[in-house]
C-alpha cells in the first residue's frame, strides 16, 4: 500500500518538466520587466535633469540655429514616447551614444573601465568572505562573550564609518607614512606603456603572461582599496553569518548530534555551517553586487580607473550619455547577480526546489 501511495504521490516527469519550465519562464519574465524598468528610470532621469544634451555637445556659446539642428539630429524634438522607444532599441543593442568627455562610444569606454571595477570588487568580496564567515561563526558560537561583542563592533564600524573617510586615512597611513601601499591607480607609470592587458584584469593578465613584476606592482596598487571594500563586505557577511548560525545552532538536529557524542567542531563546521551556507550564497552574491555598484567613492579616492570613476568624471562634465550608459550597465549587472543568487538559492535549498 505504501509503495502504491509513494508512486501515486511521486511527481510525473512531464509535470516536473512543466514546473521547471514555468519557473524558468517566471525568472526570465522578471528579468525582462526589471531591465525595462531600469531603462525607463534612466531615460526619464536623463530628461528631467536640467542639462541639455545638445548644449553638452556644442557648448553654451553655440548659435541657436546650430543647437536646434543638433537637437533634431539627436531626436530631441520628437514626442517623448518616440524618444523612449528609440532609447530602448539603442540600449538593447549596446549603443549608448558617444561620450562628450572622451569622444569615444560609451560602450567602448565601459568595456575598458568595467574590468577594473570587477577586479576590485571580486578581490574585496573574496577578502570579506574569507574573513567574515569565520568571524560570524565564531561570534555565534561564543554568543554573549567578549569575542562576540568584538565581532559585532567590527561590523558596526564597517556599517557606520564612511568608506571615503577610511580610504583617506588608509592613504595617509599606509602610503604616505608607512609606504607599504603603492600610489593610487592600477599600475606604476613604468609599466603602463609596456604592459598589454588581455582581459582587463591586470592580476590575471600579468600572471598569464608571466610578467610577475607587473603582477606584484598591480597587487600593491589594488590591495589597499580592495581591503577597504573587503572590510565593508566583511561587516555585512559576518553579521548575516552570525544570524544564520545562531538559527542553526538552536535547531533540534544540533541537540541530537551532541547527544550522539559528535565533536563540537564537527557539529559547528560540518553540520550547522553546512546548512547555513545555503542562504549565505545569496548574502555573498548581494555583497558582491553592492561592491560593484557602490565602489564609486573608493575609486574616486584611489584614482582607480573603473566604472565608478568614469561615471563621476562624466557627471562632473555633464556627459549624460556616459552617465546613463554606465548606470544601465551597473544596474544590469546588479539585476543579473540578484536574480542568479535567487536561482542558486532555489537550486541549493531542497525546501525551495520545484515540486
Per-residue pLDDT tens over the stretch 105-141: 889 999 889 999 999 999 999 999 999 999 999 999 8
Q: CB-based contacts of 302: which residues, under 8 Å, 6+ apart?
A: 167, 171, 184, 185, 224, 225
| For residues 97-103, average pLDDT | 81
More confident residue, 234 or 319: 234
**Cα distance from N-terminal residue to C-terminal residue, the chain:** 23
- CATH class of the domain whose range is 113-352: mainly alpha
> Could you tell me the three cell numbers for 196?
598589454
206 falls in which pLDDT band (50, 70, 90)? very high
Residues written for the chain: 355
| For residues 43-64, average pLDDT | 73
User: What does the angle CA 169 – CA 234 – CA 277 come to, to the nearest 5 degrees?
Assistant: 170
DSSP-derived secondary structure letter, 11 = P
Instruction: Note the pLDDT of residue 12.
Output: 57
Instruction: Note the pLDDT of residue 9.
Output: 46
For the packed helices 273-294 and 320-348, what is the interaxial angle rounded to 10 degrees? Answer: 170
Instruction: Note the pLDDT of residue 10.
Output: 47
| For residues 239-261, average pLDDT | 86
Q: CB-based contacts of 48: which residues, under 8 Å, 6+ apart?
A: none
Domain ranges within the chain, ordered by starting residue:
20-92, 113-352
Phi, psi of 98 (to 5 degrees): -105, 145
Closest CA to 300 of 117, 153, 143: 117
Phi, psi of 259 (to 5 degrees): -65, -30
Q: CB-based contacts of 258: which residues, under 8 Å, 6+ apart?
A: 264, 267
Kindly tell me if the per-residue pLDDT of 181 is higher than 50: yes
More confident residue, 13 or 75: 75
Question: What percentage of residues in the chain have a pLDDT greater than 70?
Answer: 88
Instruction: Note the pLDDT of residue 19.
Output: 61
Q: Which of 147-156, 182-191, 224-233, 346-355 has the lowest mean pLDDT?
A: 346-355
> Could you tell me the three cell numbers for 254?
544540533
Amino acid at each position: 500500500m505504501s509503495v502504491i501511495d509513494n508512486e501515486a504521490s511521486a511527481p510525473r516527469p512531464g509535470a516536473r518538466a512543466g514546473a521547471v519550465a514555468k519557473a524558468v519562464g517566471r525568472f526570465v519574465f522578471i528579468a525582462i520587466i526589471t531591465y525595462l524598468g531600469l531603462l525607463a528610470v534612466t531615460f526619464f532621469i536623463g530628461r528631467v535633469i536640467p542639462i541639455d544634451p545638445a548644449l553638452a555637445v556644442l557648448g553654451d556659446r553655440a548659435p541657436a540655429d546650430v543647437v536646434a539642428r543638433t537637437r533634431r539630429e539627436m531626436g530631441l524634438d520628437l514626442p517623448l514616447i518616440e524618444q523612449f522607444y528609440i532609447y530602448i532599441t539603442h540600449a538593447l543593442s549596446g549603443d549608448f551614444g558617444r561620450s562628450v568627455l572622451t569622444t569615444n562610444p560609451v560602450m567602448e569606454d565601459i568595456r575598458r573601465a568595467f574590468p577594473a571595477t570587477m577586479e576590485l570588487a571580486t578581490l574585496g568580496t573574496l577578502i570579506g568572505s574569507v574573513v567574515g564567515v569565520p568571524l560570524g561563526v565564531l561570534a555565534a558560537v561564543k554568543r554573549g562573550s567578549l569575542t562576540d561583542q568584538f565581532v559585532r563592533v567590527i561590523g558596526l564600524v564597517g556599517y557606520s564609518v564612511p568608506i571615503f573617510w577610511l580610504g583617506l586615512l588608509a592613504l595617509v597611513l599606509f602610503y604616505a607614512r608607512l609606504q607599504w601601499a603603492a600610489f593610487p591607480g592600477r599600475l606604476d607609470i613604468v609599466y603602463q606603456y609596456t604592459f598589454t592587458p588581455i582581459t582587463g584584469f591586470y592580476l590575471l593578465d600579468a600572471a598569464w603572461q608571466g610578467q610577475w613584476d607587473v603582477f606584484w606592482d598591480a597587487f600593491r596598487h589594488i590591495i589597499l582599496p580592495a581591503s577597504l571594500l573587503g572590510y565593508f563586505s566583511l561587516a555585512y557577511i559576518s553579521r548575516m553569518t552570525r544570524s544564520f548560525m545562531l538559527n542553526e545552532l538552536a535547531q533540534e538536529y544540533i541537540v541530537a548530534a551532541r547527544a550522539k557524542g559528535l565533536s563540537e567542531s564537527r557539529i559547528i563546521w560540518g553540520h550547522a555551517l553546512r546548512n547555513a551556507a545555503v542562504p549565505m550564497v545569496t548574502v555573498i552574491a548581494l555583497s558582491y553586487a553592492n561592491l560593484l555598484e557602490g565602489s564609486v567613492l573608493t575609486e574616486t579616492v584611489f584614482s582607480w580607473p573603473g566604472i565608478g570613476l568614469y561615471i563621476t568624471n562624466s557627471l562632473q562634465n555633464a556627459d549624460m550619455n556616459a552617465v546613463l550608459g554606465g548606470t544601465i550597465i551597473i544596474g544590469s549587472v546588479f539585476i543579473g547577480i540578484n536574480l542568479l543568487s535567487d536561482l542558486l538559492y532555489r537550486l541549493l535549498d531542497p525546501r525551495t526546489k520545484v515540486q
